[in-house]
């Protein structure tokens, strides 16, 4: 399974195309009557001729309105999957954060590709980031956004009524959109996707249970009633957290209890999350994303199961950090190279902080991992594993403390540079992963590796020590 993803022609553009999207309406649960409206959009593609002959105008854009995590993106994909057309997607928040002038040209490039690959669905996530009423934002950021918005309007008009390229956009704030966007022929159709009710939550849990080994007597209703107020993304998270716990305990089946415990973790996380500022979210996201983006280069660490920036769940279950284990180390179970890789990953939070926030704004988010790196580097030297081009080749040098520290420092510096080098050549990938993490709070293995495939520059170049 898994949608086949084509590498975008220009790798620096974050637009992407998915051919053969394999998401179907059955993957989206708890829709109720909304499903009928979405089936109609599919018909615009499959029965376009019939509409045209009868003079029925096909909308150029459809607005999916609703809070984050209710499945808007998933639905847009399902429309493409059901219609059997290509799927392009981009997050509007990417337009505005990047350099001046890039937003508009990205929109143009996106629509050009969509047209060349028609029929297609163009999905614009978080439309309000760029579609806010003009004049509401002041300053240069506002100008850049206006240029992007204007280009979007032009692009939408280019397809009016033709039904070859249909744009689906998501927003949580349809009320603040620029009136020009919602004029007839543009986003003239709104579909509201509310948070799921009790039955909806049960159905969503069941959809995600399909891919997991669930106990036969699992009480979905119990979990659904425990999760009042949660959206699909959170319910999907619960199933993932439960599955990781199950694996950790060496069990092979997910039980009601696993899900209830996972629901509590998610719930507690939800409460903690309320107090976080958007800058904190972003900082944690940069930290998590950077570790995963570097780790994916290393053979021993590339099995990234799940990424999350949710508190609690995030600290324990985010990207799996491998702590340097002295026993393992002394038994020679780790190669010199994999120890260096571990040290490098431990230094990533510090390196990311420097790259994204600058030397003078370093935070303490990396204090713990930096400590791990320091002791690992010392162990490496003490264990005589750094002897390659150096005189320190045995235990008998252990009393030459200065030499050991100097050598450990040299290794730390080298690994630090390596971390920065990998991050430096993966800035686009970082932007993508950070953007998605901030928005969705967590990424599945598949979502992460799709981004790596599209935007990553992965090559290992082991340093010699």
Q: Return residues touching ligand ADP (CB under 6 A).
A: 28-30, 68-74, 170, 204, 207, 232-233, 236, 440
Nearest in space to 433 (alpha carbons), one of 291, 320, 303:
291
| Shortest Å, Cβ 57 to ligand ADP | 27
Collect all residues with Cβ–Cβ distance below 8 Å to 72 and sequence separation of at least 6.
64, 66, 125, 170, 193
Query: What is the Cα–Cα distance from 298 to 37, expressed in whole angstroms?
Result: 46
Cβ distance to ligand ADP smaller for residue 63 or 207: 207
Q: Which residue has the tokens 């996201």?
A: 285
Cβ distance to ligand ADP smaller for residue 227 or 379: 227
Give the strand order in the sheet containing 120-125: 4-5, 16-19, 86-91, 120-125, 165-171, 61-65, 187-192
Cβ distance to ligand ADP smaller for residue 73 or 245: 73
Nearest in space to 338 (alpha carbons), one of 299, 368, 374:
299
Nearest in space to 122 (alpha carbons), one of 94, 80, 156, 89:
89
Query: What is the Cα–Cα distance from 397 to 177, expressed in whole angstroms?
Result: 69
Per-residue burial over 82-114, b = 16 or more CB atoms within 10 Å of its CB, e = otherwise: bbebbbbbbbbbbbbeeeeebbbebbebbbebb
Nearest in space to 193 (alpha carbons), one of 229, 239, 226, 231:
231
Query: What is the Cα–Cα distance from 229 to 226, expressed in whole angstroms?
Result: 9
Query: What is the Cα–Cα distance from 46 to 85, expressed in whole angstroms?
Result: 10
Nearest in space to 152 (alpha carbons), one of 128, 118, 116, 119:
128
Query: What is the Cα–Cα distance from 210 to 448, expressed in whole angstroms?
Result: 21
Burial of residue 3, with CB atoms counted within 10 A of its CB: 0-12 exposed, 13-18 middle, 19 or more buried: middle
288, 354, 407, 432: which one is catalytic? 288
| Shortest Å, Cβ 205 to ligand ADP | 9
Cβ distance to ligand ADP smaller for residue 20 or 68: 68
Q: Is 288 a catalytic residue?
A: yes
Read off the tokens for 437.
């993490």
Q: Which residue has the tokens 């264990």?
A: 383
Mode of pairing for the β-strands spanning 4-5 and 16-19: antiparallel
Report the DSSP beta bridge partners of residue 4: 19
Active site residues: 288
């Amino acid at each position: 399974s898994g949608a086949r993803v084509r590498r975008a022609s220009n790798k620096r553009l974050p637009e992407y195309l998915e051919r053969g999207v394999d998401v179907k309406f059955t993957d989206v649960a708890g829709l109720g009557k909304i499903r009928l409206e979405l089936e109609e959009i599919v018909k615009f593609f499959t029965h376009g001729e019939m509409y045209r002959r009868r003079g029925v105008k096909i909308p150029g854009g459809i607005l999916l309105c609703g809070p984050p995590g209710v499945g808007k993106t998933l639905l847009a994909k399902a429309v493409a999957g059901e219609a059997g057309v290509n799927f392009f997607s981009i997050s509007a928040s990417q337009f505005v954060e990047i350099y001046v002038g890039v937003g508009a040209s990205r929109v143009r490039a996106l629509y050009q590709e969509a047209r060349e690959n028609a029929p297609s669905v163009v999905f614009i996530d978080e439309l309000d980031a760029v579609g806010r009423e003009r004049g509401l934002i002041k300053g240069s950021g506002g100008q850049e956004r206006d240029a992007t918005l204007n280009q979007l309007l032009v692009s939408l008009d280019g397809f009016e009524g033709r039904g070859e390229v249909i744009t689906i956009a998501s927003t949580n704030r349809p009320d603040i959109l620029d009136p020009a966007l919602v004029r007839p022929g543009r986003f003239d159709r709104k579909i509201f996707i509310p948070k799921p009710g009790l039955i909806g939550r049960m159905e969503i849990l069941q959809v995600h249970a399909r891919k997991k080994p669930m106990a036969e007597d699992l009480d979905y209703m119990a979990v659904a009633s425990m999760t009042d107020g949660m959206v699909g993304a959170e319910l999907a998270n619960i199933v993932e957290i439960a599955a990781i716990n199950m694996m950790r305990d060496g069990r092979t089946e997910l039980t009601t209890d696993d899900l209830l415990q996972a629901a509590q973790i998610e719930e507690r996380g939800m409460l903690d999350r309320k107090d976080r500022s958007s800058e904190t979210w972003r900082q944690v996201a940069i930290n998590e994303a950077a570790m995963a983006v570097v780790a994916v280069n290393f053979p021993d660490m590339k099995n990234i199961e799940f990424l999350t920036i949710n508190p609690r769940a995030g600290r324990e279950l985010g990207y799996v950090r491998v702590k340097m284990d002295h026993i393992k180390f002394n038994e020679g179970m780790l190669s010199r190279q994999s120890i260096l890789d571990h040290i490098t990953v431990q230094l990533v939070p510090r390196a990311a902080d420097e790259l994204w926030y600058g030397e003078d704004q370093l935070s303490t988010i990396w204090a713990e991992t930096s400590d791990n790196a320091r002791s690992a580097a010392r162990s490496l030297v003490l264990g005589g594993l750094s002897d390659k081009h150096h005189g320190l080749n045995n235990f008998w040098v252990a009393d030459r403390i200065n030499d050991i520290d100097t050598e450990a420092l040299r290794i730390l510096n080298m690994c630090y540079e390596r971390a920065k080098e990998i991050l430096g050549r993966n800035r686009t990938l970082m932007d993508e992963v950070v953007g998605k993490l901030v928005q969705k709070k967590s990424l599945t293995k598949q979502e992460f590796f799709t981004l790596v495939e599209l935007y990553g520059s992965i090559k290992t170049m082991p340093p010699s020590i």
